[in-house]
């Protein structure tokens, strides 16, 4: 499978960097082709400018404005999204990527606005890997938006036929070294089974 691995964390010495290392090793071990999209390292601009917003509903212009990233998304059979949860949501950088990639001419057909149609039918798997600074019960009290984005929102664009998984380490700020090690080992196992 060709996996688009969307990574969103600014620090290259973080726990997220360790998660990414294990996840990529697991995917490689399983024989998948990996396209690592490191949003921070690549300097992705998440801002939807005034002109890009004007072009948004024109599928050809919207696609052209986002061509490099759209081509990578279209070449993938699977997507893995790895990110920290900040203020009970994905980082602004990743939210901007969603805003830019999941629009007309890329991920949805709005030729009939009353009947939007998904365009990522080639995506067979969607996996989210997230960390939270708070316990799960607080994320649930806030409706856990990152989990819903991965498990409910993104699958629509794949025609609701993609296999979806979500792996989260809650209350990471007080996680013990053992808990962190277990999470890393589990992520590697899950990616080997991907």
Q: What is the pLDDT of residue 73?
A: 97
Q: How far apart are CA 103 and CA 108, in angstroms?
A: 6
Q: What percent of the chain has pLDDT over 70?
A: 100
Dump pLDDT digits (tens) for 84-93: 999 999 999 9
Reported pTM:
0.95
Q: How far apart are the first and last CA of the chain?
A: 9
pLDDT at 175: 95
Predicted confidence (pLDDT) per residue in 140-151, tens digit:
999 999 999 999
pLDDT value of residue 1: 94
Q: Helix/strand/coil (H, E, C) string of 4-21?
A: EEEECCCCCCCHHHHHHH
Dihedral angle, C-alpha 122, 78, 43, 19, nearest 10 °: 170
Pair of tokens at residue 160: 């609701």
Predicted pLDDT of residue 176 = 96
> What pLDDT sits at residue 130?
98
Assess contact for 66 and 101: CB atoms under 8 A.
Answer: yes
What token pair was written down for 37?
A: 């999209």
Spatial distance between the Cα atoms of 77 and 58, rounded to a whole number of angstroms:
25
Point out the residues of the chain with pLDDT beneath 50. none
168 contacts 130 by C-beta, under 8 angstroms: yes
Set out the domains of the chain in order of their start, with CATH numbers.
2-192 (3.40.50.360)
């Amino acid at each position: 499978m060709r996996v688009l691995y969307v990574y969103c964390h600014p620090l290259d010495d973080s726990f997220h960097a360790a998660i990414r290392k294990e996840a990529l090793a697991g995917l490689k071990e399983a024989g998948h082709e990996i396209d690592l999209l490191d949003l921070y390292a690549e300097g992705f601009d998440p801002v939807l400018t005034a002109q890009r917003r004007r072009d948004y509903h024109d599928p050809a212009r919207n696609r052209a404005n986002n061509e490099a990233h759209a081509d990578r998304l279209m070449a993938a059979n699977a997507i893995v999204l790895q990110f920290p949860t900040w203020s009970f949501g994905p980082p602004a950088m990743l939210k901007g990527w969603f805003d830019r990639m999941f629009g007309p001419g890329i991920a949805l057909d709005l030729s009939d606005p009353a009947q939007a149609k998904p365009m990522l039918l080639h995506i067979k798997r969607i996996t989210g890997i997230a960390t939270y600074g708070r316990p799960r019960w607080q994320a649930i009290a806030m409706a856990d938006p990152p989990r819903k984005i991965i498990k409910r929102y993104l699958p629509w664009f794949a025609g609701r036929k993609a296999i979806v998984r979500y792996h989260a380490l809650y209350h990471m700020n007080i996680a013990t070294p053992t808990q962190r090690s277990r999470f890393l080992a589990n992520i590697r196992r899950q990616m080997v089974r991907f």
